[in-house]
Each structure stands twice: as C-alpha cells, then as structure tokens.
Structure 1
Amino acid sequence: MQFGSPGDPPGYTSLWARLFSADAALDEKCVQEMAYSVCDRDPRGAEERRADALSALIQQTTMSCLCGDADCEATRGNPPDKNTIIYIVADRDTITAETDSGDAGDPSDGGPGDGDPGQGGPGDGGDPVGEDGDESGPESCAPAAPAFVFGAGILPAVLLSPLMARARIRTVSQPGGALPETRYIPSRALADFIRCRDLTCRFPGCDAPATDSDIDHTVPYPVGPTHASNLKCLCRFHHLLKTFWTGATGWQDRQLPDGTIIWTSPTGHTYTTHPAGAALFPALGPATPVLWDGDPPRNTNTEHRGAMMPRRRHNRAQNRARAITAERRLNDDLVAEHNRPPPF
C-alpha cells in the first residue's frame, strides 16, 4: 500500500494498493454499502462518499451523515474516540474563521483521545501566532491562510473546518527574548515552537516530519544552552550522523538566530536549510536572540568519537526470527497445557 504521489494537489493524498481479488471485491462492496448508508439529503457526491467511507473503514469508525437534520435516521452518533493522533499547525485567524464557518463549537474542548494541538491532535489546529500575531480576525476579506499537516503537507483552510470538532488547541508562541532553559530536555512550550518552526528534519534533503524527529542542540549541551537559537529538529538517523561523525572529516553545522542551518560536509561543500514553518507562518519568523559574539564555541571531541556510535547487537531479520521463535514456543506451551490430562 502506498500513500501519496508527487502529483497530488494540496490538501489531498492519493492511495494505491494491490489486493487479492477476493479481498478487493469484499472491500469494494463494504465501501459501496457504507457510502449509501447515509440519507438522501447528504450533500456529498457518490465519489466523495466512497472516499469518506474508505477512511471510515480504515479508521474502524462509523460514517456520519452530513445532512444536518437532527431527526435523520442515518445518524450513527458520535464516532468512538481513537488513540491515533495527527498534528496540524495553523494561524489563529485560520482556526477562528474555520471554526466559525463550520459552527463546530469551542475547539479547545476536544474530546478524549484528541491530540495536543500546537503539534496537533486529530484535526488539531496548533496556533503558532503569539501576542504579536496578526489580529485581523475572520472578518477580513482575505482568504484564510492554509494549515500544515505534519507528514502530509499543506492543507487548504476550507478542509480544516471538519477536523476542528475534535481538535484540542494549544498556543505556540515565539519565545522572543526568553532566557536559556537550565536543563537538557527542552520544555514542552519550547519543543512545540522548534517543531512548528522547522516542520521537518533540518538535514539537507531530508523531509522527515518534525513530530517524528529529535530536538538537537547545534552546539552540544552543556556548552550550548537549551535555547531556541541553539535547537533544531533532526530525524534519528541524521541526529546520530551529526553527533558521531564529527571532527575534521565529519559533518559540521552552524545555526543562525533566524533558524537557518549552514551545513559543511566532509568534502567541504556547504548546504543551507531554512525553517519551513517560518516561511509558512510569519509569526514564527522573527529571529531569536544571538547567543554568542563571533563564532560559537565547539566541544572538544576525540578523533575516535565515531567508536561511540550505538550499534545493534542483532539486525532486524534476527530480531524478527527470535520473536517468531518465542511466540511459537509460547503457543506450544499453551497447547501442551491444554492437552495435559487432569490429575487424579
């Protein structure tokens, strides 16, 4: 199964899968039956209902009718709460406008199982706008700015409204002149800002979602403080690469106050990456304070730093084989216990 294609329009993701013929026939019948389980007043077309039915089946929930009538017989009630979480970031004005237009009530009262916005929840609308954000409000004639779904890309504002009913919103603010934190792990508020500012891994050419990435100190802690001007998102692979492939023949990185990262490869080539969130959401763009005058300090690493790279004792195939063997042993024990003759 494959999700997404380079040709997908913003806000939409294509789905491709190869199934056994019998399973495909059964799945098609289930989707068709669910698509027509709503009443005739439902405003969606047949293809749109089929797409929504497929999503409902995958999420193991029910398909709600959108006719809006309180006495609709096809209404299945509220869908069950799920533990699946998606993260969305959007401007305050976009959230306000879509909540008012969708008449979804107060989105801050998200139900159980919703994610924590700011980095989002199911249909979560994190708000990167701080106290200095644009307060034009939903009355503005300009169209609402799009949102961003971590791991999926840009979401047009008109598609955000149906997701707001179950969203839990958390404000994400630009830290401004905040002092460095006195611990290695950043606070939740600071981590939210870093992830919303970066959106993806900051290594050149990597688009791993920031929500699945580590938060790295550009100048290693404790020489480098836990501060927005010294933090960025790196996926686990590139975090290990940056941490252990150091020295004269390793990767070097330097962070500017606006979140720009300048990388120098072992061959001497330089690559510059810019925070995508700051480009999409101007409230996240202002530079954070300068931490050092001149070049930043560097930790003194030995030439054998790479020897400290953590290594697996067993590869994935070996781990899988061991898990299967253990499961079979457990099943054999259960069968033997079941077939054991009763004591006299």
Structure 2
Amino acid sequence: MFDDLVDATTGTHGAGALSSWSRVENAACAHRVATMAAMLDEAHAASGSADRDQWCLDNLDAVAAHIGAAQNITPGTATHQLLIAVALHDRFPKVAAVFAEGLITYALVKTVVHRGALVVDPDALRALDELLAEAFGDWEPRSVDKTEKAIDVFIHQVDPQAVRRDETKARGRSVEVHIEEDGSGMATVLATLFAHDAKAFQARLKNLAATVCPADPRTADQLRADAYGAIGNGTDRMACLCGNDDCSAAQNPPATGVVVYVITSDDTLADPESAPRSEPPAPKPESPAPPPDLVPEDTAEDADAAPTSDDAAPQSDSPPATPTFTPTPAEERAALDGEGPPLFDKPLRDLTLTEAMTPTPGRLAALRPAAMMGGQFLPGAIACRAAIGATITRIVHPGQAPPENRYRPSKKLADFIRCRDMTCRFPGCRVPATNCDVDHTIPWPHGPTAASNLKCVCRRHHLLKTFWGGENGWRDRQLEDGTVIWTAPDGREFVTTPGSRLLFPELSRPTATVRVRDVPASHTAGLTMPRRKNTRERESNEVEQRD
C-alpha cells in the first residue's frame, strides 16, 4: 500500500504533488507508529518479560528509551509517542487502518486517542472506532477546537458518560515557564491564578521594584521583571545598578537556598573597569602605499598590488562604510537596561534599501556567551547579570591527573564532570547534569574514578544501563575527550558528545587514559531493580474500575 502511494506521486506537480506527498507522509508516520507498538510487543514476548513488568524501569520504559535514541528525542516525548501507538493499535484498529492509508494526520490520531481515553466499555469502544473510521473517509478541514468537538459528538453517541468536558476556569489555573530556544537567554512565564493572589503578587512586584534608588538605569517594566526573579531567588530586596559607591541599595541581596547553575568563562566575568576601551578606528589618511621594505613580510604581496597615483582605483558612488563599533564589557552590561537605541541614525525615508536591510552592529556580541546547566544558551551580558550576588566556583580541568582512589568522585572532579556534560549523556536525554548520577562507564572497582571514565546519567538511564545492559542490552564506552558511544540491544551505535563542547571546548580536552582491570561478565551481582507494587496494566485497570 505504501509503495503504491509513493508510485502515485510520479508525474505530479504543484498542488497535486503536494496532496500526494502529504498522504505519503501520513502513511510513513503510520508505519513509524506501528513499529513502536511492535517493539513493545516483542519486549513483552521475550523471556522473563512478565517479571520485568514490575521493575521500576519496566518493558515500556526500556522500549521508550530505544525509541528516543533512534529518533534523538527526549524520553518524555518517546514515551508519549509509544503510548499513542499502543492506544491506537489496541483500542482503535480501524482508525489505524485509515491512518495507514495516509488519509488522516498524526495530529488527528493523537486527538482521537486523547478524547477517547475515557471510553472503557468494549462495545462502545468498537462502535466509536467504526464511526470515526467511516467519518474520516470524507473528513473536511477543521480547526483544533472543532475537531475535538466533532469527536466528542461521536463519543457522546456511544458513551455519554465518557465525553471529556471542559473544566471550570478555576480548575484550569496553572503556571508555565518556557525557556526560549532562540539563544536570547530569556524565558516567558504564563500564569493563571486566583484574582486575589494576582493582586497580592502585583503589589509584591511593586514593593520589590521600589527597593532600588531613583538612579537605577532600568525602566519600570525591567524592574518588575527583575523583581519577579528576586521572588524566585527568595530575596527580600533587589540590588541597585546605579553604580554609586554611597548607594545603600547597591549591596547584593543575601544568599538563599535557591540554586541555579550557570557555566561561564573567566574573561566574561572580568572586571569591566580593567578592560581596555575599544575606540572606533580612525579614518585612514590618503597617502601612497608604503615602500615594500616597510611592509611586514606577510603583507608585502598585498602592498605590491596596491594602486598608485598612476593607476588609481576606480571611484565608487556608494557612501563610505560606517566604522564598526566594538562595545566594551561595561557597555555590553549596560545595554541590558534602559530604553533601547534607535534602529537607524536618520529618518526612514532617507535610507537606501541596503541601509534599511543592514542591522545595527550588535551590542551583545563581544562578551563570550555562557550556558545554564542543561545546555540553555546565555549571552555573556546576561551571564554577568546572573553573577550578581552569586557564589562563584572555579572549575578545574583534571588534565592528565591520576584517578582518585575511591568510588565517589571528589567535589572538584564531580563539578568538572557536570560542567563538561551539562545534561544526561544518554542519546536524546536533556535532564540537567545537576539532576544526574555521576556514573562509572567501566564499573568500579574495575574502572577508575577518573574523568575519562565518568559521565552524567539520569537515574532512569542509569537503571537502564545497569539492568537492561549486558551482552544483549545497552552498552557504553567512553573516550578521553568525554565522547560516549552507546550500543543499543539491536547493535546500532549512538554517539553523544559533551554538552559543553560548542561553547567551552577547553572542557573537552583529553584527560588521562583509563587503565582497566579485569571486568567480570556481570557486575550486577547483589543488585536488584526497584520494583513497582503493581504492573502498569493492573494499575490502569484499577483506575478504570474506580472511575
């Protein structure tokens, strides 16, 4: 069927080709979803799977980890896709058949699974599956809201008690924090809360913003935004940025129990007063080229080719290039506050097309950028702002230092490993290194406690490696520069590099080569996987019975 859909695209163009390839895309996605469900079936059919269903990291978790590695997606995303695949092929086989023909999209399939989750009666479920499969044959374009309501109509026909109705607005209160992925170092907070709590929060922001002196350069909006950060850090005042030595509000707020890890370099946090000021280059005087004997050796060839008075360079009507402005570190830090500079230095009507399309030279580009633990990018100026009142710990590269003679690494070595890796080193996992275990790639005591044998792995993937590992399971090996090569149960390899390699390549300099002792075939003797009280299936059945 899929090959027929691909063949049908031959000779098509324009809207016809778009429609044909969209159907091929849907059918390919259906094959991908079916493969996920088949992988879980294979895991359940394997010897000993019944016992592993009560493991803390059960069959579904193991298959989700394999799916995540194969697609380079996070474990949460992989688990969600696997649950959609299982629900589709176990509960909606006729809808799955329509999906395989490419007639519906994955987004519609997810909506069907989510909206039909509360239908538990087998007869009602079969009837719903048939109604939806028949309706999707001539399904017209609908918005997300209209799609959900249309599916709810079918659910109401077969099982009126299973319609997922909208909750009241009070039950829908929530707070969402979205860290921007555009490298700006900013985040957006969206909150829906009780009106009286919102009023109290508004007053709290206003009071905190008033703890700085009138000479602070920030605008009212910037002060309220920074007051939000002060509340998050648990402080009762804000540090004033006026720069006056006699300002009583300029003292840093007291330290709190809130910890946010930011990795940066020494030159980013250097004292701005000690940095030399970069002046715009002076215009070059009109003079003939210097004699060859006065030109440095590596530029003599260019000087010989320079035009002389007898061979003048062609004149150009274009305006002279604007000198490049290189801000000092102090100017970069100041660029975060106050009103922004104008986009152009003359009225828009006087600009040429080239000038209008040329951006103003960046003011936040000279300072070396930083990163939060977890890999989020931070411009250098924002990293400097984060350092106000913070405790600064120097990270020491171990170089070729010998291994430590103990199981748990010292704080200095563990800090280096976390800053080098930034996240869990399993393929696709983005758990921050601060929430991970520092794992020995070659198990202790056969492998040393050294940087070349240590990496950050979250608890989920630590258990996966330990209890789903071995000759036919997940295996890993580590190189001196921190690169980790994972081998999946099917023999495929996945390579992960330290999260700091792009911004801080110096942290990935090779460390001492690992000296390995005899490693036994199994190193899990005496270890037991944490177990569930019930399997997922039994817990699901208990929930359905209570409902």
TM-score under structure 2 normalisation? 0.45
**Alignment CA distance shift 1:193-1:66 (3 Å):** closer
Distance of 1:85 and 1:267 partners within structure 2? 40
User: Does residue 1:149 correspond to 2:365, yes or no?
Assistant: no
State how many pairs are aligned: 273
Distance of 1:151 and 1:194 partners within structure 2? 13
Q: Deviation string for 1:272-325 (max 9, x for gaps)?
A: 1001213321221222233359xx9643128x979821236699xxxxxxxxxx
Counterpart for residue 222 of structure 1: 445
Counterpart for residue 236 of structure 2: 61
**Alignment CA distance shift 1:47-1:299 (3 Å):** farther
Counterpart for residue 299 of structure 1: 520
1:226 alignment partner AA: T
User: Does residue 1:87 correspond to 2:261, yes or no?
Assistant: yes
Distance of 2:477 and 2:530 partners within structure 1? 24
Q: Deviation string for 1:205-237 (max 9, x for gaps)?
A: 111111221110111111111111111110111
Query: Mean alpha-carbon deviation: is it higher for 63-72 or for 186-195?
Result: 63-72
Distance of 1:205 and 1:80 partners within structure 2? 38
Q: Say which of 456, 468, 489 aligns to 1:233.
A: 456
Query: Mean alpha-carbon deviation: is it higher for 32-41 or for 305-314?
Result: 305-314
Residues 82-121 of structure 1 correspond to what in structure 2 (within 5 A)? 82-97=256-271
Counterpart for residue 248 of structure 1: 471
Counterpart for residue 422 of structure 2: 199
**Alignment CA distance shift 1:213-1:98 (3 Å):** farther
Residues 159-170 of structure 1 correspond to what in structure 2 (within 5 A)? 159-170=382-393
Q: Say which of 256, 259, 266 aligns to 2:489.
A: 266
CA contact (8 A) 1:251 1:263 kept: yes
Distance of 1:90 and 1:196 partners within structure 2? 10
CA contact (8 A) 1:180 1:227 kept: yes
**Alignment CA distance shift 1:306-1:252 (3 Å):** farther
Counterpart for residue 528 of structure 2: 308
User: Does residue 1:26 correspond to 2:200, yes or no?
Assistant: yes
**Alignment CA distance shift 1:306-1:92 (3 Å):** same
Larger Rg: 2
1:310 alignment partner AA: P
Distance of 1:306 and 1:268 partners within structure 2? 27
**Alignment CA distance shift 1:5-1:76 (3 Å):** closer
Amino-acid identity (%): 44
Does the residue aligned with 1:279 lie in a helix, a strand or coil?
A: coil
CA contact (8 A) 2:253 2:389 kept: no
2:421 alignment partner AA: D
1:211 alignment partner AA: T
Structure 1: segments with no counterpart, 5+ residues: 103-141, 316-344
Counterpart for residue 73 of structure 2: none
Counterpart for residue 217 of structure 2: 43
Counterpart for residue 172 of structure 1: 395
Distance of 1:287 and 1:22 partners within structure 2? 57
Counterpart for residue 209 of structure 1: 432
1:23 alignment partner AA: D
Does the residue aligned with 1:82 lie in a helix, a strand or coil?
A: coil
Counterpart for residue 286 of structure 1: 509
CA RMSD of aligned residues (A): 3.1
Distance of 1:70 and 1:97 partners within structure 2? 16
CA contact (8 A) 2:180 2:188 kept: no
**Alignment CA distance shift 1:254-1:78 (3 Å):** closer
> What is the Cα deviation at residue 38 of structure 1?
4.1
> What is the Cα deviation at residue 61 of structure 1?
1.7
TM-score under structure 1 normalisation? 0.69
